[in-house]
Structure 1
Amino acid sequence: MPAAVLVGPARIEVRDAAVPAPAAGEVRIRLEGCGVCASNVEPWAGQPWSTFPGEAGGLGHEGWGIVDALGEGVSDLSVGERVTMLSSHGFAPYDVAPANQVVRLPDALDGQPFPGEPLACAMNIFRRADVLPGQTVAIVGIGFLGAVLTKLASDAGARVIAISRRAESLELARAYGAAETIVMDDHWAIIERVKALTGEALCERVIEAVGKQWPLDLASAIVGFGGRLVVAGYHQDGPRQVNMQDWNWKGIDVINAHERDPRVNLRGLREAVAAVAERRVDLIPLLTHRYALDELNEAIAATRDKPEGFVKAVVTFG
């Protein structure tokens, strides 16, 4: 099969690779597509600890498709079922996944792209945020993840303040339920605006969904006394500094919302499928750019650069 291989900084090539065989307890999926994650950008660009070439299909972890083969002992899935899954080599037409990390897609989602892993992340982050009705929730960074979290928080009865750089991102946040939007340009001006919107109390919940130092600083600054800072951004390009004096003074809880327990991730994936199937989350407007496998370099560059109208890219097969 053709498979994307990271062969050097900002250089992915499509090479021949063996079609994987499912081991005991696994299934093989013939992929319809795989989402491109913002966390792909740093490894693709190259990091000091990077080694090349990478694994065939590597970096791809947002796949969906059709069950193609069953490993020994798998009895609760069938060949031909349409599924989403948690796997790690989805930038290729076939991938394998543990059967207990696969979720069937209902008929209501027939024909619809479904990168399940980032939706599962949103569900798990939201659960860890413990958003309550009547709270003010600031979300710093409105991309795919921030938009879904905006919808979940607003539906839970919170007043959402969306903070992001691009005007079109703030428009997206309003469409997904944000009550207030603030352009992410001036640190102190944003803090003053949040104070004005909250009667100086700041926010009970702040979700940082960027993965960079300044958004983390900003998120820390706008959490109110006894509030909760939820780190949803994926910080993978080096150490971070935090204002521990501010954290201490305000007595805030800090939640690192990236789950690693497979059982929790599966729960999030099931919740994600239900949320989209029941039309509580509209996925289609968020999947804005589609690419072929041999265009993966362009897809990741677009994820980094965010051209006009960009929210999320998917690679499609066939």
Structure 2
Amino acid sequence: MPGAARMRAAVLAGPRRFEIVEVDRPAPGPGEVLVRLEGCGVCGSSLVPWQGREWFRYPFPPGAPGHEGWGRVAAVGQDVSGLAPGDRVALLSGAAFAEYDVAPVGRVVRVPDAIRGPFPAEALGCGANVFRRSGIRAGDQVALVGAGFIGLVALRLAVLSGARVVALSRRETALALARRYGAAETLATGADRGADVARATALAGGRLFDVVVEAVGNQASLDLSSELVREGGRLVVAGYHQDGPRTVNMWLWNWRGIDVVNAHERDPRVQREGILAAAGAVAEGRLDPEPLYTAFPLVGVGAAFQAMEERPEGFLKAVLTT
């Protein structure tokens, strides 16, 4: 459109290749909100499109697949109430690797004034919903297998609920953060699953766990998690398993009579509730996610994805800033 306002956006032009382009700025339609983005988290689920698979079609639309954006309201469409330009918000959208993005008002959440730093809402909401779906209660013995971003958010909320948490990870930085967030014990895992099970149960007083949260998303973590659940306990699948089918020890699951919970939420209303719960915890100072972030500028989006793939020591989650 001649004279239309412009913005910068990252375009996933092909496997492992982002380009920064200038495109028309979106305009809010009826019931929509335009947000001037301050930043966007980089989700682990976006790693596979960046790496490339035969079923993807490139280039992606400008700003995609960014879906963890936050910023300030720039304009509102017709029939939008309760939000005004300047309000700090997070949005559940799909093109937030950009300077602006638009979303329906029902997928926009006001960020509490007490929160000053980055707020990748969708990811924080996922962690809160993992905790909610886990059914963790005061006094539960909990094992967290994989101390990444979502796992650590869930761990902190579990500790606040009065549970005793043992965190397992291959990475010392992640285990140090788990201790900082209140883990009672931590365990550096190795190649011998049987030895890991024995050491973890020893840390739990010689018994298996009431609740095990699998937060890695691969076959090995699922196998280890399954063996850590007590009879009648609960296995919570929080890891995003996107690289093919899985096998499970169904005999073990049957024999122990465990409950298996898929903690991934797809209902936008439930996602919103998780974001609100996480925002409350952050605003009240009960959850501090700042140590989990590594910031990159929008033009460094490729480096952010490289870090997400390589997981250098000290890296948990990338956020892009605009």
- State the TM-score, normalizing by the size of structure 1: 0.96
Q: Distance in 1 between matches of 2:102 and 2:83?
A: 13
After TM superposition, the structure 1 = structure 2 runs for residues 188-203 of structure 1, keeping only pairs within 5 Å, are 188-203=194-209
Partner of 1:20, secondary structure, is: coil
Structure 2 contact 67–96 (Cα < 8 Å) conserved: yes
How big is the shift at 1:212?
A: 1.1
Partner of 1:41, secondary structure, is: helix
Question: In structure 2, which of residues 254, 259, 277 is the aligned counterpart of residue 248 of structure 1?
Answer: 254
Question: In structure 1, which of residues 118, 122, 140 is the aligned counterpart of residue 123 of structure 2?
Answer: 118
How big is the shift at 1:201?
A: 3.0
Match of 1:172 in 2: 177
Match of 1:280 in 2: 286
Offset from partner CA, 1:8-50 (integer Å, 9 cap, x none): 1111111222211122211010000011111121111012311
Q: Distance in 2 between matches of 1:48 and 1:220?
A: 32
Structure 1 contact 10–297 (Cα < 8 Å) conserved: yes
Structure 1 contact 291–316 (Cα < 8 Å) conserved: yes
How big is the shift at 1:200?
A: 4.4
Partner of 2:114, secondary structure, is: helix
Partner of 2:24, secondary structure, is: coil
Question: Would you say 1:61 and 2:45 are equivalent positions?
Answer: no
Q: Distance in 2 between matches of 1:19 and 1:314?
A: 22
Residue type at the aligned position of 2:175? L
Please identify, of 12-21 and 118-127, the stretch whose mean Cα deviation from structure 2 is larger. Answer: 12-21
- State the TM-score, normalizing by the size of structure 2: 0.95
After TM superposition, the structure 1 = structure 2 runs for residues 126-145 of structure 1, keeping only pairs within 5 Å, are 126-145=131-150
List alignment gaps of at least 5 residues for structure 1.
none
Question: In structure 1, which of residues 75, 78, 81 is the aligned counterpart of residue 84 of structure 2?
Answer: 78
Question: Would you say 1:156 and 2:151 are equivalent positions?
Answer: no
After TM superposition, the structure 1 = structure 2 runs for residues 208-223 of structure 1, keeping only pairs within 5 Å, are 208-223=214-229
Match of 2:53 in 1: 47
Structure 2 contact 166–204 (Cα < 8 Å) conserved: no
Q: Distance in 2 between matches of 1:198 and 1:272?
A: 28
Question: Would you say 1:105 and 2:111 are equivalent positions?
Answer: yes
CA RMSD, aligned part only? 1.2
Count the aligned residue pairs: 315
Match of 1:204 in 2: 210
How big is the shift at 1:279?
A: 0.4
How big is the shift at 1:116?
A: 1.0
Q: Distance in 2 between matches of 1:228 and 1:50?
A: 35
Offset from partner CA, 1:278-298 (integer Å, 9 cap, x none): 0010121111x2111121111
How big is the shift at 1:51?
A: 1.2
Q: Distance in 2 between matches of 1:133 and 1:190?
A: 25
Residue identity (%)? 55
How big is the shift at 1:199?
A: 4.6
